[in-house]
Amino acid sequence: MKRFICVTCGTQFPDSERPPASCPVCDDERQYVGLAGQQWTTLEQLRRDHHNACKEEESGLLSFVTEPKFGIGERTFVLRSPGGNILWDCISLIDDQTVEAIADIGGLRAIAISHPHYYTTMIEWSHAFSNTPIYLHAWDRQWVARPDRRITFWDGEQHPLWDGIRLIRCGGHFQGGTVLYWPAGADGAGALLSGDIIQVVPDRRWVSFMYSYPNYIPLNAAAVRRIVASVEPFSFDRVYGAFTGMTVAADAQAAVRRSADRYIDAIS
> How many domains would you assign to the chain?
1
Angle at 230 between CA 84 and CA 235, to 5 degrees: 60
Q: How confident is the model at residue 28 (pLDDT cuts 50, 70, 90)?
A: very high
Tell me the one-letter amino acid at 158: Q
- Using one digit for the tens of pLDDT, what is the confidence trace for 56-78? 999 999 999 999 999 999 999 99
- Using one digit for the tens of pLDDT, what is the confidence trace for 188-235? 999 999 999 999 999 999 999 999 999 999 999 999 999 999 999 999
Q: Is 246 left (phi over 0), alpha (psi -120 to 50) or beta?
A: beta
* Preceding omega of 19 cis (within 30 degrees of 0): no
Instruction: Report the percent of the chain where pLDDT is more than 70.
Output: 100
Q: Pairing mode, if any, of strands 199-200 and 191-195?
A: unpaired
- Using one digit for the tens of pLDDT, what is the confidence trace for 160-175? 999 999 999 999 999 9
Classify residue 96 by burial, with Cβ atoms within 10 Å: 0-12, 13-18, 19+. Answer: exposed
Q: At what angle do helices 252-267 and 221-231 cross, to 10 degrees?
A: 170
Predicted pLDDT at 77: 98
Tell me the one-letter amino acid at 24: P
Spatial distance between the Cα atoms of 12 and 10, rounded to a whole number of angstroms = 6
Instruction: Report the percent of the chain where pLDDT is more than 90.
Output: 100
**How many other C-beta atoms lie within 10 A of the C-beta of residue 128?**
19
Tell me the one-letter amino acid at 226: R
pTM: 0.97
* CA within 13 Å, CB half, 214: 15
Smallest CA-to-CA distance from 98 within 124, 59, 74, 132 is with 124
Domain enclosing residue 31, as ranges: 2-267
Q: Is 73 left (phi over 0), alpha (psi -120 to 50) or beta?
A: left
Q: How confident is the model at residue 252 (pLDDT cuts 50, 70, 90)?
A: very high
Spatial distance between the Cα atoms of 223 and 173, rounded to a whole number of angstroms = 9
Residue 157's domain is classified under what CATH number? 3.60.15.10
Spatial distance between the Cα atoms of 140 and 32, rounded to a whole number of angstroms = 19
Spatial distance between the Cα atoms of 64 and 266, rounded to a whole number of angstroms = 34
Q: How confident is the model at residue 156 (pLDDT cuts 50, 70, 90)?
A: very high
Mean of per-residue pLDDT scores for the chain: 98
**Residue 215: C-alpha distances to residues 31, 32, 179, 266 (Å):** 7, 8, 22, 18
